[in-house]
Amino acid sequence: MPDKKIKNRSKIKEKVSAELFEQVPYNVAVIDRDFNIVEANDNFAHNFGDWVGEKCYKVYKRRKEPCYECPSAKTFEDGMSRVTDAIGIDKLGRRIHYIGHSIPVRENGKKGEIQYVMELTRAVTETAQYQQEYQILFDRVPCFITVIDQDYRIIRANEAFRERFGQVIGQFCYEVYKRRKSRCPNCPAAKTFKDWKIHRSHQEGIGKRGQEIQYVVSTSPLRRHGSQVDHVIEICTDVTKLKNLEKKIIDAERLAAVGQTVAGLAHSIKNILMGLEGGKYMISLGLQKENTDLVRRGQDMLERNFDKTTTLVKDFLSFSKGRLPKLQMTNPNKLAMEIVDLYKDIAAKSGITLRAETAKNIKKVPLDPDAIHTCLTNLVSNAIDACQMGEQKGSEVVIKTSDEKGVLSIEVSDNGAGMDYEIKKKIFTTFFTTKGGEGTGLGLLTTRKLVQEHGGKIFVETEKGKGSCFRMEFPKNRLQAIYKEEKKNGE
């Protein structure tokens, strides 16, 4: 090979070295064995300030003596290059985190004695801060975070997760979350591995002490090499407390329904007692005056109120029967159709059309079919009565089902008599009836109770002379919660 070229190379190298010394994106300082800085580049001066005649430890860290475990001192000793990280103070007094390289500089090429050590430093303060922030975030965020590989093994888990589920690295996620032997059906992570998208779902897990944990999980893809999803990050929010609260609310609503019922019952009994008292008084007055008409009226009054008692007790027993609904997967549309079949002939006799408008998107939900059947029977027979009381021609009663925003609703509407404010106010509050001796006023109370036992609510919209609409709304997550609870209690 031509010498000329080699000569050129060393010349080039020399030139480049000088250039490099200034342009390299590092702070460069050269120190001797006594830690004196003998040369430094502009970057160094820019970051650490004036260095001429100073010791390196003073400039880097404002110390009065050499640093403990000084890497450059070791390089002087053994001739090895070193990389360390350290914390220093810049010329403005700010704390900086930097990575430092200590490189030996020998007197005569590779074999000579080490004359200097070149220190290359670069600030990584921001990166270090980010890393620290990230670590804190990862561990302390009030969520469980795990990273799983394609075999569904957990390769990382944050502190919150470890606290709740124990030491889990290397175990299968389904084993840890749910103590299963195989992957869960509807696994959101599997979907993410497949379509690279974020998925969310509500799950139930088992903690390290065997406690039930309800959580909402979101799975995000982590691609390290571009062509496929290598890992999935599972971030879970613990909603156990929330779910427990929700359950308590359902229970409280159920209790409230019982309270209202008892208050209504007391009112009803007081009226009956009044009737009995009256009958007794009239009989005794009639006997005293030998007035048979008065005795007969008293007798009738007693009989009427005994009958009322019997009906009330019977209704009340059926009302109090079965404290929890017996939920089973039920198609609400089918229930609606059943009611239409049962009542359309009766309705037709009074010139009323009874029909169902069922939404197509409705799937089976956990409901107590007998209870909903009772509710619909009550509402439909009220609606038919309302149509008979109303004066419109072409009366109709419509049962409508819908499933929107997680709420199943079943409504019964009519274009009958409607109610004014005074009546609307009372329909759910007492044993109220507009049907004279025919009703006990328990129909709507029973309906409301049954709906509330399903975690639902009943609403009424009405206008005097125009008609009424009773709508039962069932949040489906509540139905599921009651269903699960019942299944658990049943086992």
Partner 1 sequence: MSDKKKILIVDDEPDVVEWLTVFFEENGYQTIGAYDGKEGFEKAQEQKPDLISLDISMEGESGVKMYKRLLESDDLKDIPVILVTGATPQLQNFFERLKDLKSPEGFFEKPVDKDELLKKVQELIP
- 270 counts as binding partner 1 under rule CB under 8 A: yes
Smallest gap from residue 430 Cβ to partner 1 (A): 6
Residues in region 58-97 near partner 1 by CB under 8 A: none
Nearest-CA neighbor of 352 among 401, 412, 307, 298?
Answer: 412
Q: How far is CA 334 from the centre of its chain?
A: 31
What angle separates helix 443-453 from helix 240-289, to the nearest 10 degrees? 160
Binding range to partner 1, per CB under 8 A, among 264-272, 344-352, 374-382, 388-396 = 264-272
- Residue window 189-218: x/- pattern of binding to partner 1, with contact defined by CB under 8 A: ------------------------------
Tell me whether residue 36 or residue 430 sits nearer to partner 1 (CB atom): 430
Tell me whether residue 282 or residue 339 sits nearer to partner 1 (CB atom): 282
Smallest gap from residue 269 Cβ to partner 1 (A): 9
- Identify whether the C-beta of residue 409 lies closer than 8 Å to the C-beta of residue 471: yes
- 244 counts as binding partner 1 under rule CB under 8 A: no
Smallest gap from residue 294 Cβ to partner 1 (A): 7
Smallest gap from residue 305 Cβ to partner 1 (A): 7
- Identify whether the C-beta of residue 290 lies closer than 8 Å to the C-beta of residue 267: no
Q: Copy the structure tokens of residue 477.
A: 């997550």
- Residue window 432-471: x/- pattern of binding to partner 1, with contact defined by CB under 8 A: xxx-------------------------------------
The single residue listed with the structure tokens 């982590």 is 222
**Contacting partner 1 (CB under 8 A), which of 136, 256, 263, 313?**
263
Tell me whether residue 12 or residue 255 sits nearer to partner 1 (CB atom): 255
> Would you give the DSSP letter of residue 472?
E
Binding range to partner 1, per CB under 8 A, among 160-168, 191-199, 269-277, 362-370 = 269-277
Binding range to partner 1, per CB under 8 A, among 12-20, 80-88, 168-176, 274-282 = 274-282
**Contacting partner 1 (CB under 8 A), which of 274, 313, 324, 346?**
274
∠ CA 141-142-145 to the nearest 5 degrees?
70
**Contacting partner 1 (CB under 8 A), which of 267, 457, 471, 484?**
267
**Which residues are CB-contacts of 434 (< 8 A; sequence separation ≥ 6)?**
423
Query: H or E stretch including 314?
Result: helix 292-320
- Identify whether the C-beta of residue 219 lies closer than 8 Å to the C-beta of residue 192: yes
**Contacting partner 1 (CB under 8 A), which of 22, 50, 195, 277?**
277
**Contacting partner 1 (CB under 8 A), which of 304, 373, 464, 471?**
304
- Identify whether the C-beta of residue 325 lies closer than 8 Å to the C-beta of residue 368: yes
∠ CA 400-403-406 to the nearest 5 degrees?
145
- Identify whether the C-beta of residue 397 lies closer than 8 Å to the C-beta of residue 352: yes
| Bridging pattern class, strands 396-404 and 353-357 | parallel
**Which residues are CB-contacts of 236 (< 8 A; sequence separation ≥ 6)?**
143, 144, 145, 161, 203, 215, 216, 217, 218
Binding range to partner 1, per CB under 8 A, among 117-125, 238-246, 281-289, 395-403 = 281-289
Q: Which amino acid is at 164?
A: R
Reported residue count of the chain is 491
Residues in region 153-172 near partner 1 by CB under 8 A: none
Smallest gap from residue 278 Cβ to partner 1 (A): 3
- Residue window 22-61: x/- pattern of binding to partner 1, with contact defined by CB under 8 A: ----------------------------------------
CA atoms within 13 A on the CB side of 89: 8
Binding range to partner 1, per CB under 8 A, among 156-164, 259-267, 342-350, 457-465 = 259-267
**Contacting partner 1 (CB under 8 A), which of 235, 282, 472, 482?**
282
CA atoms within 13 A on the CB side of 133: 6
- Identify whether the C-beta of residue 149 lies closer than 8 Å to the C-beta of residue 222: no
- 418 counts as binding partner 1 under rule CB under 8 A: no
50 exposure class (CB count in 10 Å sphere: 0-12, 13-18, 19+): exposed
**Contacting partner 1 (CB under 8 A), which of 71, 88, 205, 275?**
275
| Bridging pattern class, strands 37-40 and 212-222 | unpaired
Q: How many CB atoms lie within 10 A of CB 281?
A: 13
Tell me whether residue 191 or residue 304 sits nearer to partner 1 (CB atom): 304
- Name the maximum alpha-carbon separation found in the chain: 153
The single residue listed with the structure tokens 């129909």 is 443
Q: Count residues contacting partner 1 (CB under 8 A)?
A: 27
Tell me whether residue 304 or residue 373 sits nearer to partner 1 (CB atom): 304
Tell me whether residue 282 or residue 482 sits nearer to partner 1 (CB atom): 282
Binding range to partner 1, per CB under 8 A, among 99-107, 130-138, 200-208, 276-284 = 276-284
Query: H or E stretch including 416?
Result: none
Tell me whether residue 130 or residue 281 sits nearer to partner 1 (CB atom): 281
Smallest gap from residue 442 Cβ to partner 1 (A): 15
Q: How far is CA 335 from the centre of its chain?
A: 31
Q: Which residues sit at the interface with partner 1, rule CB under 8 A?
A: 263, 266-267, 270-271, 273-279, 281-282, 285, 294, 297, 301, 304-305, 422-423, 426, 430, 432-434
